[in-house]
């Protein structure tokens, strides 16, 4: 049965959802974006089937409405939505990265008899905007749903059926659980990365060469500090209580580590690092709460043309890369060339490709 889906917000997530859902030829996609140029581009390059020029008019045609807008904008539109003339059995969902504030706002929809099911696809890219949209963005990523407890099962099933084509791992949790878990593994690490970069900046006057040394492991560790500051400002404010709790836990952990250093007991310090290594090594290999970069470290000799040689082999095997950089100092992994891929599959193909064409060693951190 033909289904009309209206996606509001055509950035990376909204555009990728549109492309992914279009895999099902029974799904008709109407798109809307406040930026007229973005909307026209989405239609021109085939991301959406039809432009929703007027927000309210397009909403009237939809069986399912997806807010792929920033959380604050989603809340604003949710507050307006009860005034819209929607289909009787319409299902409304969102893609916001914090859920308690969204679900609180959605109580207004519930009171108006409109079904709302919170959503959060945990995927991203190093690129942004509608032209960066990819149908495979959500494959093997977790897609969290946060329905109200009394939502009818058949309505959840309808949304699940729609999203199956994304090939995401769809799970249901409550909003508080979602915000706690994402604070631990996504939101709080951004605060840590930002604080480490601030600490580095403070060293610049006395030890300016420190930045050059940061080209290796430090740069990898703090990659997420380069994320959009406006988006992370909003996430931090919206999930501030959970983040405050995590900061308290982190402070206690740092005091514990400081005491280990002051007592300088080698066995205890080794045990601390051993435990961390064991936990980290046993983490599942899957797309998690943060955008994952699949890096491959290549130990290459220093001669002219070696980088173009490697990229040439990859291009010949139709292996796409997302980033390429030279590491000048790396104390824990012997490699000077870092090649980034969008998927584990592409990285695995690259390992085989380089092994078949060169004697260069490759490493995965």
- In this structure, the answer to whether residues 259 and 334 fall within a common structural domain is no
Helices (H), the chain: 12-21, 36-44, 55-59, 71-80, 100-111, 153-163, 175-182, 188-202, 210-213, 217-221, 229-238, 240-263, 266-281, 306-316, 344-357
Angle of helix 100-111 relative to helix 175-182, nearest 10 degrees? Answer: 160
Q: Specify if 256 maps to a domain.
A: yes
- In this structure, the answer to whether residues 145 and 17 fall within a common structural domain is yes
- In this structure, the answer to whether residues 325 and 235 fall within a common structural domain is no
- In this structure, the answer to whether residues 272 and 331 fall within a common structural domain is no
Q: Specify if 287 maps to a domain.
A: no
CATH label of the domain that carries residue 30 = 3.40.50.720
Q: Specify if 289 maps to a domain.
A: no
Q: Which of 252, 281, 310 is the last residue of a domain?
A: 281
Q: Which of 281, 314, 337 is the last residue of a domain?
A: 281
- In this structure, the answer to whether residues 315 and 355 fall within a common structural domain is yes
- In this structure, the answer to whether residues 107 and 211 fall within a common structural domain is no
- In this structure, the answer to whether residues 154 and 185 fall within a common structural domain is no
- What is the Cα–Cα distance from 153 to 130, expressed in whole angstroms? 33
- In this structure, the answer to whether residues 63 and 9 fall within a common structural domain is yes
pTM exceeds 0.85, yes or no: no
- Phi, psi at residue 128, to the nearest 5°? -140, 170
Q: Specify if 286 maps to a domain.
A: no
Q: How many CB atoms lie within 10 A of CB 264?
A: 8
- What is the Cα–Cα distance from 125 to 290, expressed in whole angstroms? 10
Range of the domain at 211: 178-281
The total number of structural domains that make up the chain: 3
CATH label of the domain that carries residue 319 = 3.30.70.260
CATH label of the domain that carries residue 214 = 1.10.3660.10
- In this structure, the answer to whether residues 47 and 102 fall within a common structural domain is yes
Q: Which of 173, 206, 226 is the last residue of a domain?
A: 173
pLDDT in tens, the chain (365 residues): 789 999 999 999 999 999 999 999 999 999 999 999 999 999 999 999 999 999 999 999 999 999 999 999 999 999 999 999 999 999 999 999 999 999 999 999 999 999 999 999 988 765 678 888 889 889 888 999 999 999 999 999 999 999 999 999 999 999 999 999 999 988 999 999 999 999 999 888 889 888 887 766 788 788 888 877 888 888 899 999 999 999 999 999 999 999 999 998 899 999 999 999 999 888 776 555 555 667 888 888 778 888 899 999 999 999 988 788 776 544 444 447 889 887 788 899 999 999 999 988 888 86
Q: Specify if 340 maps to a domain.
A: yes
For residues 205-243, one letter each, b for 16 or more C-beta atoms within 10 angstroms of the residue's C-beta and e for the rest, the string is eeeeeeeeebebbbbbebbbbebeeeebebbbebbeebb
- In this structure, the answer to whether residues 165 and 186 fall within a common structural domain is no
- In this structure, the answer to whether residues 250 and 147 fall within a common structural domain is no
């Amino acid at each position: 049965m033909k289904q009309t889906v209206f996606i509001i917000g055509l950035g990376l997530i909204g555009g990728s959802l549109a492309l992914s859902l279009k895999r099902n030829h029974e799904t008709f996609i109407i798109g809307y974006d406040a930026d007229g140029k973005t909307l026209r581009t989405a239609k021109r390059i085939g991301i959406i089937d039809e432009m929703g020029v007027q927000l309210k008019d397009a909403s009237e045609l939809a069986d399912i409405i997806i807010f792929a807008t920033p959380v604050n904008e989603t809340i604003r539109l949710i507050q307006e939505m009860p005034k819209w003339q929607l289909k009787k059995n319409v299902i409304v969902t969102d893609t916001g990265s914090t859920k308690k504030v969204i679900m609180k706002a959605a109580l207004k929809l519930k009171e108006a008899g409109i079904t709302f099911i919170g959503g959060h696809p945990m995927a991203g890219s190093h690129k942004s905007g509608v032209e960066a949209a990819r149908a495979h963005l959500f494959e093997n990523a977790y897609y969290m749903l946060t329905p109200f407890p009394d939502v009818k099962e058949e309505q959840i099933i309808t949304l699940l059926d729609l999203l199956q084509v994304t090939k995401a791992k769809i799970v249901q949790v409550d909003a508080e659980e979602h915000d706690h878990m994402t604070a631990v593994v996504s939101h709080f690490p951004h605060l840590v990365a930002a604080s480490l970069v601030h600490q580095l900046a403070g060293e610049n006057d006395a030890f300016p060469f420190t930045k050059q040394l940061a080209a290796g492991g430090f740069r990898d560790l703090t990659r997420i500090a380069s994320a959009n500051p406006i988006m992370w400002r909003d996430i931090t404010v919206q999930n501030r209580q959970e983040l405050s709790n995590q900061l308290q836990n982190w402070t206690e952990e740092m005091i514990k580590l400081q005491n280990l250093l002051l007592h300088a007991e080698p066995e205890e310090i080794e045990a601390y690092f051993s435990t961390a290594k064991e936990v980290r090594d046993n983490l599942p290999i899957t797309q998690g709460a943060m955008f994952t970069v699949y890096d491959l470290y290549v130990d290459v000799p220093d001669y002219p043309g070696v980088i173009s040689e490697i990229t040439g082999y990859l291009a010949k095997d139709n292996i796409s890369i997302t980033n390429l950089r030279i590491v000048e100092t790396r104390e824990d992994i012997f490699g000077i060339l870092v090649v980034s891929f969008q998927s584990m599959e592409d990285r695995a193909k690259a390992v085989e490709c380089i092994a078949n064409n060169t004697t260069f060693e490759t490493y995965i951190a």
